Amino acid sequence: MSSGKEGLQVRGFFKKMDGFDLRADFEIPQGVRAVLLGKSGSGKTTLLRVLAGIEKADAGSVVLGGKEISQVSPKDRDIGVVFQEQALFPALDVMENATFGLRMRGVSRDERVALADPWLKRLGLHKQSFAAVTQLSGGERQRVAFIRALIWKPKLLLLDEPFSALDAELRQTLRLELLDLHKQWPVPVLLVTHDAEDAQALATVKFQIETSRAAEGREQRVVTQAFSS
Amino acid sequence: MIGANVSYKWVHALVLALLTHSVLCPSRVSANPPELVIYAYDSFASPKGAGSKIVPLFEKQCGCTVRLLGCGNGGQLLTRLQLDEKRGKSDAHLVLGLDQQTWLQAKHYTEPWGNWVPKGYPELLAESKVGEGFVPFDYGVFSLISDQAELTRLKLGVPQSLKDLLKPAYRRNVILEDPRTSTPGMAFLLLTHAVFGADFMAFWHSFKTQWLTLTPGWDGAYGLFLRREAPLVWSYTTSQAYHEEHGDIKGDGRRYRALLFQEGQPMQVEGAAMIRRSLRGGAPGAPLSAPNDEVERLSKAFLEFLISPEIQTLIAHTNWMLPVRVGVELPESYRALPTAKKLLRLEKDSDELSQILGRWQREVEHP
Amino acid sequence: MKPSRVPANIGWVALALTLGFLTLSTFWPLAVLITRFLGSSQTVLTTFFDVFPVVRATLSQAMWSTAVSAVLGLGLGLWAGRLASVAQDKHSQKCVSKCISLGHFFLSIPYGVPTIVAATAWISWLGRHGYFAQIGIPLEISYRFQAVILAHVFFNAPWVAYWVSQARTEIPQEELDAAQSLGAGVLCRFRFVIFPRIKWTFFSATLQVFMLCVMSFALVLILGGGPPVQTLETALYSRMRYGSLDMPGAMACGLWQLLVTGVPWLALLWFQKKKALNPSRNSNESFRVAQASSRSLIQSAVFLWVAALFVIPYVAVFSGGKALSLLTARYLSEISLPLLISFKLALGTAAGACVVALLAVLAISFVQGRTSCASRASTLLGFVVSLPSSISVLVLGLGFWIAYADWIDPFEGSFVAMLILQVTLFMPVAFRVFWPIAQNTAHFRLSAAETLGASPLTAFRYVEFPRWRAPVLRVFAMIAAGALGEVAAVSLFYSEKLVPLPLVISRWMGQYRFEEAQALSAFLLAASVAVMAGVQILGGKNRDVIR
């Protein structure tokens, strides 16, 4: 199925969770940064993992760049993901981590280094290009995770609580850096967080998870749009 | 300081434990009541071995106690004596289970008879008399044992000679023991050396692809044979008697049969000897103290007891070996054993033995 | 280097006890043996090169066995680890978890199978009247090199799989998800995420397998068909067993064993130190497990069958149904004492080996935090602690006797000597499992507990112990089962009043009691499995396998 539209469309999403059902119908156009707000355990990370292809939904379709991707394997979805714990690969150095997506797409080493250098410089990591990721601070690790998710120009960027483990000052800095990076590659973005400040700073569209009604004794939660700017 | 303290206590506890153990299990001979300590191979010393029948009879007769120390197999008895000399003491008075081959090396660790000749010694089989100091008590004749049912199934005849074993038909149909680790295996190697002389390696060059396997000991080989892994195994003629006693048909219908070679059969004579005085804490030739004198008397009495008609009659049933005393009544199953035309005693001195083993090893180690 | 968290007094005690034990159990006996028996340097040198054909044969066998075991074990371990991770998913069905637990238990069994049982079992399958021959597939590999390789692979591949699986379970699922979202396929995920995380466990288990193959004895003697299929251990045995005690020859074999197994181990420790990578997930990472799917049940059932495949060969010793015949008064009176001795010895060995290994871990952690050249010192100490597994038990036992001749007489029998010797042999196995766990100690959590008023011991009890409990139990169970069937150490120090069960088997065979011996082998196998299962059940089953 193809809608002929750019961006992300989620239609008739349904997933049975522990104790509730999660439903969603939304779209994120090209260049829009959507923030999904919700409490811990509300199902927002699950939604993100389903979009990334890591988990399966019970029903619904996901269309990205006009292409139905529900049945596409995660590695072929062209979606960049920033995980809550960064999930950097400890066996690889900063450069190798940052350019991993390019490497998987057959880009030569020289090209990868040439492509990554400006990104690393922009985020102040160029001096640590070949350092072990285990030697980086929390903020530096997060920067590497941002570059890794974006440098290969995915069609969608998903971020799972990317600032949750950082202090307020660093959080502010990284939000600005993320905005800056997004300008370089203005794909649709979906960021899930429980922090209203993240939403305030980053969102062009806000979603939230609301409890709507109980059906057959089960709680129903629905992703709804909070406002648009 | 705590560390040092605890460490000290631990070492102390360990040393104490070792000492306590040695006190609880005194390895030295206590003087009263007189106790005779004998190194013996396991199958003799085990609860169902020949020792369990012979020792109580002797204890009753001598009014003493006898302690058997199991030392593994015959080869390990020699190792035990060698190690005793290395550590400078021995815990036993007698060693029982040496054969004529190990005797050549063990002689050095044993006490000569001097003027004493064991009572009954003249009545022993001439071939069993290995030398002064060695009291033979039984002997075995090595032979192939065949599983007639398997031979028939494989349409194989009975090998008549060593050379027959090289025939393609017997390929992977013989189970042997490793000469480096077992007495029967060594006897087979020495038989080939005796039969083929300087050319014996040519035999082994052809033979090394013929055997099914070389097991470390007799038990392994015989176990495989009984599982019908091969129809022929190198064992003792008395294996036939064992099977007869345990239900195998007598006469021509028997399944397990001892086969004799035209070239003759190697024999193994098992014997006992007194351990050298100097190894037991006394100087060679020096007068013994009273308790030692007593045990020496007991030692001699035990050796004579071993070759008495009473014990020689027992040997066949308890040890599955033949008695060395001439004229001893044998069970029916033993009387049915084939008689070897030629009994060969093939002992070699240790240099020659090492040389033969070395040549054999070099030959068989290469695929 | 972080300062050691091991308090100085405990550290010194642990160091003293570890070195004290190793000195008394290994170095002193070896030193005495070498000074007492080694001839002139020329004799030693000549003999050293004389045994080269045996070294070649040993290496050929050990390398083939190890390579095949490693490849099979790696594949199976990765699969098992992935399934174990799935089993932790809360949506996973209970029977999935049960299948995987049982499968892991099957993988741990071969380590506890006495080699004499294994050899008998393989004859039942591969022999000329074995099961394969009976169904019309006469395999011509019995009593040949291939049979030895096959038996070794069945013995060792589960060992590799077991430990790889444990390491694979520890990999954070998010790293795998991240790699996948970046476009990594199966091979790339393995290369960049999985292998770096499991490689030291894999290499360590592989090296352990290599050592076992070099030291292999009963399997080679029984299944190899005689020379040229032999190992340094069988060559050493033939030099010490019969007739002349060829000590220079035995020492040459022992020295080669030390070289062949010690050098790779030292190299592994060295590289491991240099390229250390936290083998498990970061302690502050939230852990997301792999998702259970509808296929999980089928996969776990298939895994269970594959794992069972490595145990099935040994079931052959139960053929003939004679094992139950041992449960009569006549036999029980004959085997009850040996059984009791074997159980006491097995449990004592397992406890001793775990305690000494834990002391060694404490000592090395202590050294790591104190010396200026901590890395080198701890590598060296780690090597020294592992050294006993590179030394033939025959050499060690003989040295033990000569060194402590005033106290221990092997022909009188000595339970203490058997115990110390077995602890020395099995301790390195425990150490190799415990050391990586110690390296991942979450110091901040211990500090947190201490700031809340806990003493170091209480902090350990509540923070670290839960992490240690499962591996310690696992190792305890494996060693207890292994010690139950161990023959070499016990055959050096038994006596008429102290005959452990495995020796009764060979004794019965020597008395034409072959069927009873096979029944006793089956009994011994059942006892080994029961010990392994019993310890794990008593210690809280499943927690060890599926964390």
CATH number of the domain to which B188 belongs:
3.40.190.10
Say if C194 is an interface residue toward chain A (CB within 8 Å).
no
Residue B217 sits at the vertex; the CA angle it makes with B211 and B223, to the nearest 5 degrees, is 75
Quote the minimal CA–CA distance from C124 to chain B in Å. Answer: 9
Contact C180 A75 (CB under 8 A): yes
Contact C496 B180 (CB under 8 A): no
Task: Identify whether residues B179 and B221 lie together within a single domain.
Answer: yes
Take residue A141 and report the two structure tokens written for it: 């690790």
Take residue C472 and report the two structure tokens written for it: 């310690």
B135 located within any domain: yes
pLDDT in tens, C451-484: 777 777 777 877 788 888 888 888 999 999 999 9
Reduced to 3 states (helix: H, G, I; strand: E, B; else coil), residue B307 is: coil
Strands A156-160, A189-193: parallel, antiparallel or unpaired by DSSP?
Answer: parallel
Task: Identify whether residues B237 and B275 lie together within a single domain.
Answer: no
| Mean pLDDT of the C249-273 span | 84
Contact A91 C277 (CB under 8 A): yes
Which residue of chain C has the CA closest to A150?
C182
Q: What is the pLDDT of residue C244?
A: 54
pLDDT at residue C340 is higher than 70: yes
Task: Identify whether residues B57 and B92 lie together within a single domain.
Answer: yes
B 144-203 → C contacts, CB under 8 A: 172, 176, 178, 180-183, 186
Residue B4 banded pLDDT, cuts 50, 70, 90: very low
What ipTM does the predicted assembly reach?
0.83
Task: Identify whether residues B58 and B156 lie together within a single domain.
Answer: no
**Displacement of CA C94 from its chain's centroid (Å):** 30
pLDDT at residue C179 is higher than 80: yes
Question: Quick one: which of C454, C435, C161, C444 has its CA closest to C282?
Answer: C444
pLDDT in tens, C353-392: 999 999 999 898 888 777 666 677 778 888 888 888 888 8
B153 located within any domain: yes
| Chain A to chain C Cβ contacts (< 8 Å) | 83
Task: Identify whether residues B113 and B67 lie together within a single domain.
Answer: yes
Q: Which residues of C touch B91 (CB under 8 A)?
A: 409, 411-412
Task: Identify whether residues B205 and B345 lie together within a single domain.
Answer: yes
Task: Identify whether residues B186 and B250 lie together within a single domain.
Answer: yes
Which of A79, A85, A92 has its CB closest to that of C192? Answer: A92
Q: What is the largest CA-CA distance in chain A?
A: 59
Q: Which residues of B touch C53 (CB under 8 A)?
A: 365-366
> Which residues are within 8 A (CB) of A224 and not within 5 positions of it... i.e. 6 or more apart?
A207, A208, A209, A210
Quote the minimal CA–CA distance from A76 to chain C in Å. Answer: 6
Task: Identify whether residues B117 and B99 lie together within a single domain.
Answer: yes
Which of B7, B43, B229 has its CB closest to that of C128? Answer: B229
Residue C540 banded pLDDT, cuts 50, 70, 90: low
Kind plus residue range of the DSSP H or E element containing A148: helix A138-150
Task: Identify whether residues B47 and B174 lie together within a single domain.
Answer: no
Contact C53 B365 (CB under 8 A): yes
Domain ranges of chain C: 56-280+294-318
> Are B234 and B185 spatial neighbours (Cβ–Cβ below 8 Å)?
yes
Quote the minimal CA–CA distance from C193 to chain A in Å. Answer: 6
Which of A76, A104, A149 has its CB closest to that of C188? Answer: A104
B13 located within any domain: no
Hey, what amino acid is at C342?
S
B345 located within any domain: yes
Hey, what amino acid is at B177?
E
C276-280: Cβ within 8 A, 24+ apart: C276/C439, C277/A90, C277/A91, C277/C196, C277/C197, C277/C200, C278/A90, C278/A134, C278/C439, C278/C440, C279/C167, C279/C170, C279/C197, C279/C198, C279/C200, C279/C201, C279/C436, C279/C439, C279/C440, C280/C167, C280/C170, C280/C197, C280/C440
Task: Identify whether residues B159 and B291 lie together within a single domain.
Answer: no
**Displacement of CA B98 from its chain's centroid (Å):** 6
pLDDT at residue C542 is higher than 50: no
CA distances from A1 to A7, A50, A109, A159, B68 (A): 15, 19, 37, 26, 91
Hey, what CATH topology would domain C56-280+294-318 get? MetI-like fold (1.10.3720)
Residue C410 banded pLDDT, cuts 50, 70, 90: low
Phi, psi of C313 (to 5 degrees): -55, -35
| % pLDDT > 90, chain C | 31
Say if C181 is an interface residue toward chain A (CB within 8 Å).
yes
**What is the domain range of residue B221?**
142-266+338-365
Number of independent structural domains in chain B: 2
B3 located within any domain: no
Higher pLDDT, B72 or C304: C304
Task: Identify whether residues B215 and B315 lie together within a single domain.
Answer: no
Q: What is the pLDDT of residue B247?
A: 87
Task: Identify whether residues B135 and B146 lie together within a single domain.
Answer: no
Q: What is the pLDDT of residue A123?
A: 87
Contact A80 C180 (CB under 8 A): no
